[in-house]
Structure formats: C-alpha cells, structure tokens
Structure 1
Amino acid sequence: MSHRTANLPQLFAESRRWFEDALFASMEAAGEQPVTSTQASVFALLDDEGTTVSELARRIGVTRQTAHQVVHALIGMHLLEQVPDPGSARRILIRTTAEGRRVHERAQATIAVIESVLAERIGAAAVEALRQTLTADWGEPPLIAAP
C-alpha cells in the first residue's frame, strides 16, 4: 500500500483493495470461479431467506439495473438462484445455492486466514484496535460546510 499523504477514505479504499486482492487471488488459486468486488459483496448483503434485487441494489448502493446484472451473472455461475417470495406472488427473492453457500463459507475462512496474516505483520493488538475503531458508533455522517 502507498501511504503518501492519503486521507482516511483513500486509506480505507487501499486497505479494502489489499484484502480483496488477497481474497480473490487465494480463491482463484484454490480453483474457485473468479468474481468481481461487487459480486462478492452480494453474499454479505443477502438475507438467509432471500432478498429482492431492488433491496440488494439499495444495500450495495448501485442502480437496480446494475444489481440485476450482477445477480444474473452469479445465477449463471450457479452461486445464486431466484425463488418466489412466499409473502408476495409478484416478488422474486435472490438467495444462495448450496454451491454459493460453500463458496461463501470458503471465502469467510480465507478472510480469517488473511486477517491472521495481517496480525502477524502489524501485530494482533493493532488489528484488534482497528476492529474496535471500525465497529464503534461513529454517529450520523456530519454535514460540513467547506471552508
């Protein structure tokens, strides 16, 4: 990572990229299908019983059309499936397949190992402090008038 005079959002982005690079390369080396960052984020945002494409789009922060494309690519990879919503005949839910759950569990185990490598490199106390800082309640985002 390059730590020139980067601001915190840039450092967060570089750190996320470091984790994703390690995760995606490790998963591909283990023989898993390659996925994009957006495709990977879908798994963390799905409810166990399924989630609509519209709700996924809101959670990811993309348009419904983009979410639809991402979901259908993952359906084509046999990682997600569409099922009728038992609460509404007009809605379709997206949920993981058995293969999708297997891949997601493998990714979670891989992330745990990557976190342990980070702890070896920067220290377990630093990783724990980082985790506590990132999970602290930061409150609502402030509305700041530029000087």
Structure 2
Amino acid sequence: MTNRPPTEEAVSEKQAEEIEAARRQALGRLLLLARENFFKRIEQATADMFSASSLRTSGTLLPFIDVKGSRTTEVARRLGVTKQAVGRSIKILLDEGLVEFVSDPDDGRAFLIRYTPAGIKRLSQTHEAIRRVEQELDRELGTDRMCVVRDVLFEMAYGRPSRAASSQEVQSKRSTSGKRKSRGS
C-alpha cells in the first residue's frame, strides 16, 4: 500500500445526509437488516440447542434444500452462488450428519443432497424456534401487521399471492389459540 496524499472530501455533509436517508429507506437494505434481526432472534432462541456458527451454516443452506432432496446445482442457483461455494457449506452439514448424498431417482448419474433424520430434527427444532420468534413479533408489532408483512413477502418471494397458507388463516389460528389480534387489542 502506498502513501497517497489525502483527497478532497468526496461528499458534502448535506450529500452524506441525503445518501444515508435514502439508504435507511432502501428496500433491499431493509430486507437484509430485518433478516439479520430475525436471524439473531433465532440464534437466541436456539442457543441451548446448537452453536451460532452451526446455525449460521445450516440457516444459510437448509432453507434451500427441498425436504425430498435437491441437486447441489439447484441449491447454488437458489442461493445465487457457485456450486463450489455450496459444496463447502454442504461439507460442514455432511460432517455434522445433517445431510447426505443419495442417487437422484430421475437421473442415475446425478446426486441429491437430502436431509438425514438428524437434519430433519434440526429443521423441526429450528422451525419451532422460528414459530416462537414469530409469536414475539406478533406481540410486538401486532398480528394484523405481521399478516401484511407475511403476505407481501410471500408475493415477493413466490411471485403470487399466498393461498393455502394465507396469513388470514394463520391469524385465525393464532387468535383462537389466545394470541392478540392486533397491537391495539
């Protein structure tokens, strides 16, 4: 690294404030920060079950593996990374006994990455923690608002409105189990 003379200020104070204000409202950043907050809550909820690093690896990869198994190339495509990058994370999950490779019944030359019984148990434990975190958010933000968040995110993620597991059904189930319907209730 060479020593260079300092350059003039790249941005004025006013420009910096405008840029920061725009960044605080940028949808992509909001989604990333919300995901990070959600993940920290799940880490806290599962701290007694598995380590944060193990949860990070499995939490990054497991949501992209179908319950019946997925090809590594498909998992990489879903994550938006290379097959090699997925391979490194899969090795960690293989070493932990959470996934295994099995022959693809549709193509004998290919393999699927599939959950082991321990992987299914981890998935179930994680989903139970997610359910608890969602209940906390229901209490904090109100069930009505959480239903809107879920519906909008579902449509953004899948390109269609939610149907079978609609937020109204989720709200109905939660309200019948003694949960608050909205923040004002």
Could you tell me which of 79, 100, 107 is aligned with 1:81?
Answer: 100
**CA-CA distance at 1:36 after TM superposition:** 5.2
Pairwise CA distance, 1:113: 0.7
Q: Deviations over 1:91-147 (max 9, x none)?
A: 1110000000001011111101101101111111111111122223696xxxxxxxx
Report the CA distance between 1:53 and its aligned residue.
Answer: 0.9
Gaps of 5+ in 1: 140-147
User: Aligned pair count?
Assistant: 135
Q: Give the TM-score taking structure 1 as reference length.
A: 0.82
Structure 2: gaps of 5 or more residues: 1-19, 160-185
The within-5 A match list for 1:1-147 is 5=21, 6=24, 7-27=26-46, 29-34=47-52, 35=54, 37=56, 39-136=58-155
Identity of aligned residues (%): 26
Aligned-residue offset at 1:38 = 5.2
**Rg larger in 1 or in 2?**
2
Q: Which has the higher contact order (CA 8 A, sep 6+)?
A: 1
Which amino acid is 2:146 matched to? V
Deviates more, 1:128-137 or 1:104-113: 128-137
What is the TM-score with the length of structure 2 in the denominator?
0.66
